[in-house]
Amino acid sequence: MRAFGADQVPRRDYLPVMLLLAAVIASSLAVFLSVPGSTVRRWSFGPFAGYQWDGHVRSLQASWTVPLIDAGSPKRSCAGTWIGAAAPGNNGPFIQIGTNEQLVTPRQARDWGVPRHYYFAFWSDTRMHFLARSLFLVRPGDEISASLSLTSRRWRLAIRDTTNGKTARFSTRQEAGGAFNEAQWLQEDVTDSKTNKLFPYPRLSAVAFRRLAVNARRPSYADLYTNWMSEDGVNWAPTPLRYDSFALAQATVSKAGAQYIRIMNLEDGPTNKFFGLAGAWNARTPQKRIQAEVAKYGAVLRTGSRMLNDSAWPSPARQIISSLAANQRWQISSLRAVAAGPPARSSAALNNAFPTYNGPDTYGHEICRALHLPEVAAQC
């Protein structure tokens, strides 16, 4: 959630990538941490859990029940439940509306004139530096309905507490000029704008979204991408969409999922390096240098393809991973044309072998879903 947050909203930044595999890597990586002196391994997937939809966003909506902060929650813990729309760019247009669930200190409660367990409806956007603007107080268990719509270069925002009838409806021209390409339904561990660190995450009652809609239609499960949140060694992931609803549940990374992430991690750095170097080729680039870079990267792809083929995969992922390995082998053979000619021809051959990527990737999406892994690049 952006409330009190100074960090950036998760989003896919669709920079042109000349390799389909790079998209697979981007959609499946996670930070992998080994605890010194122990066999315990921990994954860190970021502070957001829920779903993302990619496409031209004109409107979105959802309903939820305000979760309860349970006893024993850490001091100054804070969470948020919200819907939002984002446009490309690290600090591109973004807007959100939702509820905050926060445990404030006695002094904050006194200074702000609010309860220690502080629940409120809010909205925010990039121009407000993602800081929450309170709309009205809510209570745990209240039913909330929220919507965003973009018409005539104005965002129209609405949030209603259907339990007590409190409602906020307004419009703004802020953030209305972007090419919004993401709709989001998320629970967030909030970032403290003063320290730029995450607040402790509270113990909450069930978090669930209902009546999801984007562009006035129920989204398809196949068109959604999962965000996972990691807090205190626990991963939270959205359950599969049922009709137009989902909840958050604890999730673990399977042995097969860990192996897939390991393979993609091995290829990630060399992939970025190779295409960074290839992007600088020009008429003065020595052919031997091109050949050396192609040979080095080809060896990385061969290793990855062999590991994909030699690993044991569960049946839901087996066919798509086999297709990915076959695609890698085809890319390896295509690299020969890249190394065969002068730089101009090599660049053309590179583009032919690895077309520019500007959208969601089928391999990465399907593999991560089959292996029950997070599917959003910004989480990975």
Give the tens place of pLDDT for each residue, 16-70: 222 333 333 333 344 444 333 333 345 688 899 999 999 999 999 999 999 999 9
C-alpha–C-alpha distance, residues 234 and 360, integer Å: 27
C-alpha–C-alpha distance, residues 63 and 144, integer Å: 5
C-alpha–C-alpha distance, residues 214 and 56, integer Å: 10
89 token code pair: 């760019």
Residue 19 corresponds to which amino acid? Answer: L
C-alpha–C-alpha distance, residues 244 and 275, integer Å: 40
C-alpha–C-alpha distance, residues 266 and 236, integer Å: 26
pLDDT on residue 347: 65
Asked if 238 and 49 touch (Cβ cutoff 8 Å), the reply is: yes
Asked if 213 and 53 touch (Cβ cutoff 8 Å), the reply is: no
Q: What is the pLDDT of residues 161-170, one digit of tens each?
A: 999 999 999 9
Q: Which of 1-5, 151-155, 214-218, 368-372 has the lowest mean pLDDT?
A: 1-5
Domain 43-251 is in which class?
mainly beta
Higher pLDDT, 371 or 14: 371
Task: Sort 84 into a burial class: Cβ within 10 Å, 0-12 / 13-18 / 19+.
Answer: buried
Q: Where are the domains of the chain?
A: 43-251, 255-379
Nearest residue to 155 (alpha-carbon basis) of 188, 123, 120: 123
- Whole-model pTM? 0.82
CA angle 34, 377, 100 (to 5 degrees): 90
